[in-house]
Amino acid sequence: MSVDRRDQLVKAVHASDWHTIDALGWHAFFADLAAFWPRKLTSDHALAYARVLGGHDPVMVTAALAALAETGQAEYRPGPAQLAAAIARTGTGAKTNATPKVGRPDQHPITLGRVRDLLGDGHQICGCVGPRQFNQNAGGVMRCAKCHGIEQGQADNALEQLDEEAA
């Protein structure tokens, strides 16, 4: 458990700095936490999740959240302690069977939905010319190492999926 990463996340959540939250790989977790259950996720509640879970791998925490939701073990949004207990039960932190690996994570429908959300929030698409290095965050979003823009192909696929859903 990394105290430094937890402190960075706590500061970012406290400041509502979604760019840093995304860069740390936690955007997917907070988006799922807000979307899976009907009541609004307040900033105080988000801060509690950051304090308790911020030192863990965000992919592992998001998988534990999905597993609790899919198995019906959480009728309401699970609290930070319930999620920490679910992570502890997995031992090594390996993903549970409730969240199977599906193809390319950067092209998963949930990831493409996150890309659409980021584009809607004003995040830019990479416009760099020539060979580029892209890094994939914990939520599956591909970002240019130089300009931090979203990878063009992923952005195109996300918007194309939106067009297909509208048709």
Give tens-digit pLDDT for 122-147: 999 999 998 889 998 877 899 999 99
- Cα separation, 144 vs 29, in Å, equals 22
Strands 134-136 and 142-144, sheet pairing:
antiparallel
- What pLDDT is stored for residue 1 in this prediction? 53
Q: Give the pLDDT score at 155.
A: 93
Distance CA 35, CA 31 (A): 6
Token pair for 44: 């105080």
pLDDT at 75: 65
In the chain the first and final C-alpha atoms are separated, in Å, by 45
Q: Structure tokens of 152?
A: 């063009």
Low-confidence ranges of the chain (pLDDT < 70): 1-3, 74-75, 90-103, 165-167
How far is it, in rounded angstroms, from Cα 38 to Cα 15?
24
Q: Which pLDDT does position 100 carry in this prediction? A: 41
CB distance 104 to 115 below 8 Å: no
- The neighbour count for residue 46, using CB atoms within 10 Å, is 22
Q: How many CB atoms lie within 10 A of CB 73?
A: 12
pLDDT at position 149, please?
Answer: 95
Phi, psi of 134 (to 5 degrees): -115, 145
Residue 125 confidence (pLDDT):
95
**CA 20/CA 34 separation, integer angstroms:** 18
